[in-house]
Chain A
């Protein structure tokens, strides 16, 4: 199956700075890469995703880039704010077929802390 690695495990930035979280995946056939944000005590929620036919996607202060050749993708948060503090998970969906359709493989998470 797919193997997703995520770095760093913790990240501290000053308010207003940028934050970058990186993930690598092993299955070159993976075709969907979502990012989830989980605030303390809450459920994970999708913040942005990218598909393998696109190299970059932006949504206000958040962007994701995908390098299929190198098999890595990154989350970029600009102008960080204290409310961006949370755990962020990357995931990859393998190109499995049939009953495994939709299965996601998650990274271990990055604890982002934004200091005011």
Chain B
């Protein structure tokens, strides 16, 4: 099993550009999450999906949108990137309230 996979690994954008971060899991988990990690700030939840067909805002949702495409896939979209969105983005999944498994991360730089 690949676990949780994310694409791309690295991305550089110019201010105002858009992009979608992809996440997929093959563990049959029902819950999926998007976090951003900034130095000294820990992991902050952007959006999550407790089950297929539902999405909810986390702590820092502004400037982002998500789509739970199916049980396996959960994408994060930046419609108009800003330098403040420079960060490392992690996707995670879990079976309900159990352990969350993280993907390898996407390092995003917005110039």
Contacts and interface: CB of A to CB of B under 8 A. Distances in A.
Contacts of A1: 59
Nearest to A101: B97
Contacts of A43: 90, 102-105
Which DSSP category, helix, strand, loop or mixed, fits chain B's interface?
loop
A9 B42 CA distance: 11
A103 interface: yes
B50 A49 contact: no
Contacts of A102: 31, 48, 50, 94, 96-98, 100
B56 A45 contact: no
B4 to A, nearest CB: 8
Interface of A: 1, 6, 9, 32, 34, 42-46, 49, 89, 93, 98-109
